[in-house]
A and B are shown apart, each in its own frame.
Chain A
Amino acid sequence: MPGFPMLEVRGLHARYGAIEALRGVDIDVAQGEIVTLIGANGAGKSTLLMTICGQPRASAGSIRYEGRDIAGLATFEIMRLGIAQSPEGRRVFPRMTVEENLKLGATVADVKHYDADLARVYKLFPRLEERRAQRGGTLSGGEQQMLAIGRALMGRPRLLLLDEPSLGLAPMLVKQIFATIREINAAEGVTIFLVEQNAYHALRLAHRGYVMVNGRITLAGPASDLLANPEVRAAYLEGGH
């Protein structure tokens, strides 16, 4: 089922000031896959997503996207290649309306797709349509999460990077968001790289998974294997999901 390699990360190092957040990370994501990266708070998961987007720059190692080395490109250039991110903390523009946020998401897309794409996002998240004229800063956490994902989709990405889409959401909403992610992947063929602390849901959703500890990948494999792995169970799954 997996197609050609979409994202290949090799020996990636990155630092925030004096702190080395990534210490030699290898990741592969094939076209059409949902791959998840799980790990504790502060393991370096969000840093990996941001480094793929050039913020911060990789201090060593390579990042290949669709066969092309993107580690040296500026962030805006990387995002124009068909990568979109729904980042940590959602980063919805607080003083812009829902619709303006979505319009900004479409910055890298062809204008002719705009109306259809907007309709598509509103179909995935009907709540956003109800709130279209409301300012981003006044939305609830769940609505902001929908907006962040919807905004990323407006750029028509081939690779979608999602940072903790379940964070701070009610269980019902988490289910709904994960169902939507599956739909985006299955129906539209968007490749998804998902960072999660909610390991149970993430591994149930994904085809393959990685475990990150202190800036290094410690485990990798099919998601079902990781779900059954005693180490993973002990560290990330016990104590309810």
Chain B
Amino acid sequence: MEYFLQQAINGLTLGAIYGLIAIGYTMVYGIIGMINFAHGEVFMIGSFLTVIFITVLGSLGIHPTFTIIALVLLLVIPFTGVWGWSIERAAYRPLRGSFRLAPLISAIGMSIFLQNLVQFLQGARNKPIPVVVPGGFTLVESDGFPVQVRWLQIVIVVMTVALMIGLTTLIHRTRFGRAQRACEQDMKMAMLLGIDVNRTISATFVLGAGLAGIAGVMVAYYYNVVNFYDGFLAGLKAFTAAVLGGIGSVPGAMLGGLLLGLIEAMWSAYFSIEYKDFAAFSILVLVLIFRPTGILGRPEIEKV
């Protein structure tokens, strides 16, 4: 039971991170009907920026305090936001109105390009950083098995919940959110109401990239090591989470992320940690076969 609880805590943390990345996939799919396969790389860039900032600050003799940790977060968000914006401008917008597969192929190209760019600039080796948020506490202990919660896990989960609430408010209560949903439901009509559709799409990319950046920072803090290849697997997992929850649905992405994180943690605990990716991607296949609209997806999302 303690073991289960421990894995539930770990799975919840992982799920929160998947959820943060999955939102970027699902929002972009919702508005322009494409899968942004370079999204995982934006997350990876967020992690690398964290390593760079922490290292630079460390070499200046500044030790990671709470303020520094928050400062790094605030620095990384605009950076990844600009990356998200640039990717859309450079690789997707010129192809809008082209045949359906064109932006998808462009996205895969962009993903490979970004991986190689980071590999070229930062090297292929793992980059470690010191533990910046140490410590935790023991939740319960029995039979010599302590269920431990790291402070960082609490930070990740609480922050994710706060971001989800903020995002939901943004989408449902603000002018931008209304414009965003209008574009999603009928882009041509949105234009006829004077909505600048290009700007709305750009903002969606920036928003998704910002959230991926936050996830990147958290993962760098959590695992203390980054690699240029990290974005690929995390991206695919988050994509799986988005499909599981129902691609196009923001609450679905949150739910899908959470479920995938929990499934992966439980699989690792009770079956085999080597094959946890097998579990995650089997879910992708099963969902696509038996419930392609996911848990919260709408029955049919045909783009006109």
Residues of A within 8 A of B (CB): 53, 55, 74-76, 79-80, 84-85, 87, 91, 93-96, 100, 103-105, 107-108, 151, 155
Q: How far is the CA of A230 from the CA of B181 in the complex (A)?
A: 49
Closest residue of chain B to A111, judged by CB?
B175
What chain B residues lie within 8 Å of A80 (beta carbons)?
Answer: 194
Tell me if B188 and A55 are in contact (CB < 8 A).
Answer: yes
Tell me if A107 and B189 are in contact (CB < 8 A).
Answer: no
Tell me if B181 and A105 are in contact (CB < 8 A).
Answer: no
Q: How far is the CA of A74 from the CA of B175 in the complex (A)?
A: 21
Partner of A155, one of B181, B182, B190, B193: B193
Q: Identify 7 residue pairs between A and B in the complex whose beta-carbon atoms are under 8 Å apart, listed by A's number.
A: A55-B188, A79-B192, A93-B185, A96-B185, A104-B193, A105-B193, A108-B194
Given contact pairs A74-B191, A79-B193, A107-B175, enumerate 13 new A-B contacts (beta carbons under 8 Å).
Answer: A53-B192, A55-B188, A76-B195, A76-B197, A79-B191, A84-B192, A96-B178, A96-B181, A96-B182, A104-B195, A107-B193, A108-B194, A151-B193
What chain A residues lie within 8 Å of B197 (beta carbons)?
Answer: 76
Tell me if B188 and A91 are in contact (CB < 8 A).
Answer: yes
Known interface pairs A93-B182, A96-B182; A107-B188 also in contact (CB < 8 Å): no
Tell me if B181 and A75 are in contact (CB < 8 A).
Answer: no
What chain A residues lie within 8 Å of B178 (beta carbons)?
Answer: 96, 100, 103-104
Q: How far is the CA of A85 from the CA of B186 in the complex (A)?
A: 14
A69 to chain B, nearest CB (A): 19
B 190-204 contacts with A by CB, 8 A? 190-197
Q: How far is the CA of A84 from the CA of B186 in the complex (A)?
A: 16
**Does B179 sit at the interface, judged by CB under 8 A?**
yes
A70 to chain B, nearest CB (A): 13
What chain B residues lie within 8 Å of A103 (beta carbons)?
Answer: 178
Q: How far is the CA of A184 from the CA of B235 in the complex (A)?
A: 53
Residues of B within 8 A of A (CB): 175, 178-179, 181-182, 185-186, 188-197
What chain B residues lie within 8 Å of A55 (beta carbons)?
Answer: 188, 191-192
Tell me if B195 and A107 are in contact (CB < 8 A).
Answer: yes
A137 to chain B, nearest CB (A): 9
Tell me if B191 and A104 are in contact (CB < 8 A).
Answer: no
Shortest beta-carbon contacts, A-B, top 9? A79-B194, A108-B194, A75-B191, A91-B189, A93-B185, A107-B194, A76-B196, A80-B194, A107-B193
What chain A residues lie within 8 Å of B179 (beta carbons)?
Answer: 104, 107
Q: How far is the CA of A118 from the CA of B229 in the complex (A)?
A: 53
Partner of B186, one of A53, A93, A105, A155: A93
Tell me if A108 and B192 are in contact (CB < 8 A).
Answer: no
B261 to chain A, nearest CB (A): 28
Tell me if A93 and B194 are in contact (CB < 8 A).
Answer: no
What chain A residues lie within 8 Å of B185 (beta carbons)?
Answer: 93-96
Tell me if B189 and A93 are in contact (CB < 8 A).
Answer: yes
Tell me if B192 and A93 are in contact (CB < 8 A).
Answer: no
Q: How far is the CA of A151 from the CA of B175 in the complex (A)?
A: 16
B66 to chain A, nearest CB (A): 39
What chain A residues lie within 8 Å of B195 (beta carbons)?
Answer: 76, 104, 107
Closest residue of chain A to B186, judged by CB?
A91
Q: How far is the CA of A87 from the CA of B175 in the complex (A)?
A: 23
What chain B residues lie within 8 Å of A94 (beta carbons)?
Answer: 185
B173 to chain A, nearest CB (A): 11
What chain A residues lie within 8 Å of B182 (beta carbons)?
Answer: 93, 96, 104
Closest residue of chain A to B196, judged by CB?
A76
Q: How far is the CA of A100 from the CA of B196 in the complex (A)?
A: 18
A143 to chain B, nearest CB (A): 17
Q: How far is the CA of A91 from the CA of B195 in the complex (A)?
A: 15
Closest residue of chain A to B172, judged by CB?
A100
Closest residue of chain B to A136, judged by CB?
B185
Q: How far is the CA of A93 from the CA of B182 in the complex (A)?
A: 7
What chain A residues lie within 8 Å of B186 (beta carbons)?
Answer: 91, 93
Closest residue of chain B to A108, judged by CB?
B194
What chain B residues lie within 8 Å of A84 (beta carbons)?
Answer: 192-193
B112 to chain A, nearest CB (A): 33
Tell me if B181 and A87 are in contact (CB < 8 A).
Answer: no
Q: How far is the CA of A165 from the CA of B268 in the complex (A)?
A: 61
B303 to chain A, nearest CB (A): 14
A4 to chain B, nearest CB (A): 24
What chain B residues lie within 8 Å of A100 (beta carbons)?
Answer: 178
Q: How far is the CA of A95 from the CA of B266 in the complex (A)?
A: 37
